[in-house]
Structure 1
């Protein structure tokens, strides 16, 4: 499910469209949707990091959800560079919809020293982030919308 097609669309604080994908900034996390066929490398990641630091501030770690609605590649050696530069993710979650995305995730786990959590749906990933931040999870998007209106997503 794309963010645009979900009730999450109503709670986006900022949306950043790059030539390589779209990044949605919420209060407690970022959701990325990289374009079909992209090679997501250090230069592209640097653009997103810069925008993220402007939005969230220089300090602290970010909860990140990679919503893999398209097939794309990540340059593995750039993961190493990223890791040496900073440990930016508090929680790194991936939503996969196809087998090819799962294969990429296996490779990424070799290069990323932190935990990468895998989910089958966007709701599951958002709930996991909520639980990590001591917020109540929801069993559907209607409940999630109600929780958001009561406090913060």
Structure 2
């Protein structure tokens, strides 16, 4: 099921960004990405997506990225290293997996990621995990 057809689409008050290679849904604290079928996700696509995303949020916003892998596509797992070094506003990522092949790919990608990357088996699990990230918990000192 596409993110747009889920209960979260309206619940999270998302804004849709369509690029030539995928749909990206922008919400408070997170971006949900759905690359199109058959794409090869390389650095140019990641950079384009993240530059577009960054331009639509306030400066100093911290986000999590959820890769909602409903379509089959290829990705260079080493992109995670460059991604994290270049775009520090993404504090954590989740990969929603629906089959064994995607699980294996996500496991390889996890080895390249320095920041928190969780493999999830449902959109519910991924969104719940993001909502509870310690990076989004604010603490204040008592007066």
TM-score by length of 1: 0.78
Residue in structure 2 matched with residue 5 of structure 1 by the alignment: 5
Equivalent position SS for 2:29: coil
Residue in structure 2 matched with residue 47 of structure 1 by the alignment: 48
* Gap regions ≥5 residues in structure 1: 135-153
Q: 1:72 to 1:12 in 2, by over 3 A?
A: farther
CA distance in 2, matches of 1:99, 1:35: 19
Residue in structure 2 matched with residue 88 of structure 1 by the alignment: 89
Q: Cα offset for 1:65?
A: 0.7
Q: Are 1:123 and 2:124 matched, yes or no?
A: yes
Q: Cα offset for 1:59?
A: 2.2
Describe the superposition over 1:45-78 as per-residue Cα deviations: whole angstroms up to 9, x where unpaired.
1111111111113424311111110121112343
The answer as to whether partners of 1:12 and 1:24 remain within 8 angstroms in 2 is no
TM-score by length of 2: 0.83
Number of residues of Structure 1 aligned to a counterpart in Structure 2: 134
Q: Are 1:103 and 2:101 matched, yes or no?
A: no
CA distance in 2, matches of 1:9, 1:25: 10
CA distance in 1, matches of 2:130, 2:82: 25
* Gap regions ≥5 residues in structure 2: 138-143
Would you tell me which structure has more helix in proportion to its own residues? 1
CA distance in 2, matches of 1:9, 1:93: 17
CA RMSD between the two structures: 1.7
Q: Cα offset for 1:104?
A: 0.9
Q: Cα offset for 1:118?
A: 1.3
Q: Cα offset for 1:84?
A: 2.9
Residue in structure 2 matched with residue 31 of structure 1 by the alignment: 32
